[in-house]
Amino acid sequence: MINVTKSFLPDKEEYIGYINQIWDSVHLTNNGPLLQRLEEELRRFTGIDNLYFCSNGTVVLEIALKALNITGEVITTPFSYCATSNVIIWNNCVPVFVDIDPDTFNINADLIEAAITPETRAILATHVYGNPCDVEKIEAIARRHNLKVIYDGAHGFGVTYKGRSLLSYGDISTCSLHATKIFHSVEGGLISTSHPELNHSLQLLRAFGHKGDEEYFYAGINGKNSEFHAAMGLCNLPHVPEIIRYRRQVFSWYDNNLDWEHLKKPLLAGQMEYNYAYYPVVLPSEDVLHQVQQGLQAIGVGCRRYFHPSLNTLSFMPRHYSCPVSENIASRVVALPLFVGLEEQVVVRISSAINGIIRAAIL
C-alpha cells in the first residue's frame, strides 16, 4: 500500500550514537543537553532567536494563547486541522470562523474586519499546506483593532516568505514536528515569537510555570520534550534541504501528469521559497472524490481528505457560522501521496488513474 506520507528516517547508526549519549548521561528529559543543542540549531536554521522546542504542535498553540492572555473571541479559519479550533475552545475562548480565499485556501483576510466585535482579542490563522497567509493585511487589521496574531504554521517548516522564515511572522507562530512533517522529531512542536519580552513566559509555560523547586510564576503545562525526540531532530535537520528538493521533484511529476482541465490546486504566494509540504487537488465534486478514493484504493494507493470536514460544521462548536467556500473545498479536496522515495512511475500511475476516473465521471 502506498500511503499519503512516509516518515523520513535518518541513518540508524547516527541515531543510535545519540541514544548512547543519553544512556551515558542518564539525562532523559527536562531541558537536557540534546534538546538545548537542537534549539540552538533550529534558531540558526530559521534565523529566529526566540524559539523553543516543545512536545507537539497542539500544545504550542495552547501555550501561545496563554502567553498572550487571550480571552473572549478568536477569529480563525474553518479550513485547518481540528487542533486549530480545539485549542481555542480548550482555553475557554470562542472560535469565530471567517471563510477562506477560494484560490489560496487560507483565511480570507478581506473578510476578517467584518467579523471583529468588542469581544475579539486575537486572530489565529493557519498557513494552509505551508502556503503563507496574507500576513501584511492581517497585521494591518490587527494593529487597527489592537488584536494579537497567532499563526498555526504546522506545515510551514522550511518555508521563507520575503526572505524571512514563515515562522517569524505574527506575535507568536507555532509549528508541528510530527512524524509526517517535512522536518520531524517523531513528536514535537516549535513556538516562536517576535517579542523578546515573551521569552520568559514561553519558557515557563512549557514547564509547568515554575523554575527550580521553589519559584512558581504561572499555571503552566507540560510542554517539554525528551532527549530521544531531540536526538531524532538533530539527525533529521541537516537533511531538510534534500528532503525539500526531492518533494519539489515529486510536485513537478504530478504537475506534468495530472489533467488540469477538471482539477484545481491552491495558488501559491509569490516571493516565497516553498517546502512542498502536501500535494492537494480539488476534484470536480464530492461524488468524484469518492470514486477517486475507491479507484486509488483498488490499485493500492491511499489519499487523504485533508482538510475535511470544514471546522465550522463540527457539532460541538459553540456558534454556527456559514463558510460556503471552505465547506465546498473541504468536500472535494484530497492530498495525494508525497514523500521522499516516491518514484516517478508511481506518480504517473496515480495521475493516470485519477485522470481516467474523472474523464469517465464527467462524460
- What's the number of domains the chain is made of? 2
Q: What is the pLDDT of residue 212?
A: 74
User: Do 242 and 248 touch, CB atoms closer than 8 A?
Assistant: no
Cβ atoms within 10 Å of 5's Cβ, excluding its own: 17
Instruction: Give 127's pLDDT tier (boundaries 50, 70, 90).
Output: very high
The closest of 97, 104, 233 to 161, measured between CA atoms, is 104
Q: Do 118 and 223 reside in the same domain of the chain?
A: yes
User: Do 232 and 185 touch, CB atoms closer than 8 A?
Assistant: yes
| Residue 4, domain member (yes or no) | no
| Residue 5, domain member (yes or no) | no
Q: Do 215 and 340 reside in the same domain of the chain?
A: no
The fraction of the chain above a pLDDT of 70, given in percent, is: 100
Alpha helix stretches (DSSP H) within 70-183: 82-90, 135-145
Identify the bridge partners of residue 282 per DSSP, sorted by sequence position. Answer: 264, 333
- Residue-wise pLDDT for 231-263, tens only, equals 999 999 999 999 999 999 999 999 999 999 999
Q: What is the pLDDT of residue 215?
A: 82
| Residue 83, domain member (yes or no) | yes
Q: Do 42 and 88 reside in the same domain of the chain?
A: yes
- Residue-wise pLDDT for 209-222, tens only, equals 888 777 888 888 99
Residue 41: burial class (beta carbons within 10 Å; 0-12, 13-18, 19+): middle
Structural domain boundaries, residue 259: 239-362
Alpha-carbon Rg for the chain, nearest whole angstrom, is: 21
CATH code, domain carrying 247 = 3.90.1150.10
Q: Quote the pTM value.
A: 0.96
| Residue 63, domain member (yes or no) | yes
Mean pLDDT calculated for residue range 49-58:
97
The fraction of the chain above a pLDDT of 90, given in percent, is: 94
Residue 85: burial class (beta carbons within 10 Å; 0-12, 13-18, 19+): buried
- Residue-wise pLDDT for 282-309, tens only, equals 999 999 999 999 999 999 999 999 999 9
- Residue-wise pLDDT for 310-341, tens only, equals 999 999 999 999 999 999 999 999 999 999 99
Q: Do 80 and 117 reside in the same domain of the chain?
A: yes
Q: Do 221 and 243 reside in the same domain of the chain?
A: no
Q: Do 149 and 265 reside in the same domain of the chain?
A: no
Q: Do 253 and 293 reside in the same domain of the chain?
A: yes
Q: What is the pLDDT of residue 225?
A: 97
| Residue 344, domain member (yes or no) | yes
Q: Give the residue from 207, 237, 267 where a domain finishes.
A: 237
| Residue 1, domain member (yes or no) | no
* Residues near 252 by beta carbon (within 8 Å), at least 6 away in sequence: none
Q: Give the residue from 198, 218, 237 where a domain finishes.
A: 237
CATH code, domain carrying 67 = 3.40.640.10
Mean pLDDT calculated for residue range 24-29:
96
| Residue 3, domain member (yes or no) | no
Identify the bridge partners of residue 94 per DSSP, sorted by sequence position. Answer: 73
| Residue 250, domain member (yes or no) | yes
Cα 275 from chain centroid? 12
